[in-house]
Amino acid sequence: MVRRDRLRRMREWWVQVGLLAVPLLAAYLHIPPPQLSPALHAWKASGKFFTYKGMRIFYQDSAGVVGSPEIVVLLHGFPTSSYDWYKIWEGLTLRFHRVIALDFLGFGFSDKPRPHHYSIFEQASIVEALLRHLGLQNRRINLLSHDYGDIVAQELLYRYKQNRSGRLTIKSLCLSNGGIFPETHHPLLLQKILKDGGVLSPILTRLMNFFVFSRGLTPVFGPYTRPSESELWDMWAGIRNNDGNLVIDSLLQYINQRQKFQRRWVGALTSVTIPRKRCRGPQCRFWMTTLATIHS
């Protein structure tokens, strides 16, 4: 009798906890995204959008040094946006005639459709469409990429190598801090879970918050280059824009795609003759300042 009463009280307690937790969890899952900082708001205001197959793609296009024929296109990493480049943007405009960057589909201020099959092939086609939109499809382009952008650059390189009509012409390529070779890339535990698209994925993407994001991203940086908390908030604001946290698992399919198409993308990188450079950490700073002097 005493045991039955104890079990009944325990069940009642758990019911009360559940009734309290449900509205709290519901409120948490509908927390609005953080407001844009003045710097991030200015970045968005200075950019533009173009439409690719009915989807809005955000991009930046700045005129640089007069008299130079050089154009550089910047391809950002995962899971951030073109805002990654803001610290070196002005310096690049002093070395290039045009400096162009975009937010890939599913990132930053670009549309984040769901459900959607995100792929490196589509992101590469978006880069090509942007350059056609800007009337630069016949110009020779310098590519500067980072992380996720490295794989997009490899696909663009493959298309360039195949001499396919309508593809952009690459003059030089700089790949930075990316897992170009799948066997050397070691994704985080959370990335492994999300990329497999299991039943936990939609739950984890909804539960994702700034604390989890910042704790996972900060160790990726070196001890002297780690972003400040305000910079991390800017990154998080870009992710949360248009509910971007809900497509993280779909975007992470790039890890599986990289393994599946390893021969295509690594082969392109090892067989072309254009000037190319792979750099990590402090090496990238030097290369970014000298990229404009490279000629094929």
Backbone torsions φ then ψ of 267, nearest 5 degrees: -60, -40
Give 10-residue mean pLDDT values along the chain (296 residues).
65 54 53 89 97 98 86 95 95 94 98 95 97 92 94 93 76 83 63 66 80 84 86 95 92 90 89 75 52 42
Q: What pLDDT was estimated at residue 281?
A: 60
The angle subtended at Cα 163 by Cα 162 and Cα 168, nearest 5°, is 110
Name beta bridge partners: 256: none
Q: What pLDDT was estimated at residue 238?
A: 96
Domains of the chain and any CATH numbers: 34-279 (3.40.50.1820)
Are 155 and 178 contacting, i.e. CB atoms less than 8 angstroms apart? no
Structure tokens at 221: 């940086």
pTM (2 d.p.) = 0.84
3-state secondary structure the chain: CHHHHHHHHHHHHHHHHHHHHHHHHHHHHCCCCCCCCHHHHHHHHHCEEEEECCEEEEEEEEECCCCCCCEEEEECCCCCCHHHHHHHHHHHHCCCCEEEEECCCCCCCCCCCCCCCCCHHHHHHHHHHHHHHCCCCCCEEEEEEECHHHHHHHHHHHHHHCCCCCCCEEEEEEEECCCCCHHHCCCCHHHHHHHCCCCCHHHHHHHCCHHHHHHHHHHHCCCCCCCCHHHHHHHHHHHHHHHHHHHHHHHCHHHHHHHHCHHHHHHHHHHCCCCEEEECCHHHHHHHHHHHHCCC
Q: What pLDDT was estimated at residue 78?
A: 93
- How far is the CA of 9 from the CAs of 3, 17, 19, 21, 213, in angstroms? 10, 12, 15, 18, 39
Q: What pLDDT was estimated at residue 289?
A: 47
Q: What pLDDT was estimated at residue 130?
A: 97
Backbone torsions φ then ψ of 203, nearest 5 degrees: -75, -45
Q: What pLDDT was estimated at residue 293?
A: 45
Half-sphere exposure of 261 (CA within 13 A, CB side): 18
